[in-house]
């Protein structure tokens, strides 16, 4: 693309690699803001936050990482972003991608916004570009880069760079959010794939699903209104088809744990 030269593409690839392999997600967030992204997109301040869901279905920020911002400024950003109509629109549409925002127009409507009064103005910021990070229409993160008034607004090129990194950020953040939760990936399409891969019947596939969700043989027998003998017979068939000896090996062999997931297959 005309937006980037050859050296910038090489750097972009290096950044994508580090998104996936920097040891902890907290280190990755901080390294992106402090070390890697400024090489491609100059900015004066930045925030990179993961997003999680509360029990009542609302979204919340988790462990925001910041660049050149005080903790007080980060706290104001969190509070005002959650109250901002523009932010809620970006988040609840569940469509990942880059977007721009500017407070350079001194209209009364902008001046009265809490995000302007409590975040932009105290930190001398005017221009912003953001990346709403989603995985399969599920918000998992938000990245915001800011510039002061005497700097140029963010460009189409800057948005292009963020768009190239979106999938890499989404994969890493969903990996961290769902780490250890094998049921998530099982529910996201692996059930049908496993049944086809191992040639399981519909009844065997149903029993595999119940086993993944932690039901014992007795629970399965009661739920399916069949005998324990029949349950054991079905699982013996499943073990044979999957080339395992018991339930523990069966569950360990499934491509559901986060170190075995092929994200491109989801």
Tens-digit pLDDT string for the chain (266 aa): 568 888 899 888 889 888 877 768 888 999 999 999 999 999 999 999 998 877 777 778 888 999 999 999 999 999 888 877 666 666 666 677 888 876 655 555 566 777 888 899 899 998 999 999 988 778 889 999 999 989 999 999 999 999 999 988 988 888 777 654 544 445 455 677 788 889 999 999 888 888 877 788 998 999 999 999 999 999 999 999 999 888 877 877 765 443 444 444 44
CB of 245 closer than 8 Å to CB of 253 = no
Q: Crossing angle of helices 228-242/191-198, nearest 10°? A: 80
Distances in whole angstroms, Cα of residue 115 to Cα of each of 72, 204, 225, 227: 13, 54, 58, 62
Residues spanned by CATH 3.30.450.40 within the chain?
6-178
**The CATH number of the domain covering residues in 6-178:** 3.30.450.40
**The CATH number of the domain covering residues in 182-265:** 1.10.10.10
**pTM for this predicted structure:** 0.65
pLDDT, position 47: 96
């Amino acid at each position: 693309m005309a937006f980037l030269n050859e050296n910038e593409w090489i750097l972009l690839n290096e950044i994508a690699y580090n998104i996936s392999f920097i040891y902890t997600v907290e280190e990755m967030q901080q390294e992106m803001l402090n070390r890697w992204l400024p090489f491609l997109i100059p900015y004066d301040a930045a925030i990179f936050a993961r997003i999680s869901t509360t029990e009542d279905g609302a979204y919340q920020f988790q462990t925001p990482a910041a660049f050149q911002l005080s903790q007080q400024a980060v706290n104001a950003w969190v509070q005002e972003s959650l109250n901002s109509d523009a932010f809620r629109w970006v988040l609840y549409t569940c469509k990942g991608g880059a977007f721009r925002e500017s407070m350079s127009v001194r209209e009364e409507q902008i001046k009265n916004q809490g995000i302007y009064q409590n975040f932009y103005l105290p930190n001398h910021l005017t221009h912003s570009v953001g990346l709403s990070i989603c995985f399969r229409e599920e918000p998992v993160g938000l990245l915001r880069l800011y510039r002061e008034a005497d700097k140029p607004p963010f460009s189409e090129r800057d948005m292009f760079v963020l768009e190239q990194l979106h999938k890499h950020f989404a994969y890493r953040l969903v990996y961290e959010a769902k780490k250890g939760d094998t049921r998530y990936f099982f529910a996201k399409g692996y059930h049908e794939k496993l049944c086809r891969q191992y040639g399981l019947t519909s009844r065997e596939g149903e029993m595999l699903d119940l086993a993944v969700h932690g039901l014992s043989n007795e629970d399965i027998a009661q739920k399916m209104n069949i005998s324990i003998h029949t349950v054991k017979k079905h699982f013996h068939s499943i073990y044979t088809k999957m080339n395992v000896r018991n339930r523990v090996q069966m569950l360990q062999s499934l491509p559901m744990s986060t170190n075995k997931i092929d994200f491109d297959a989801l």
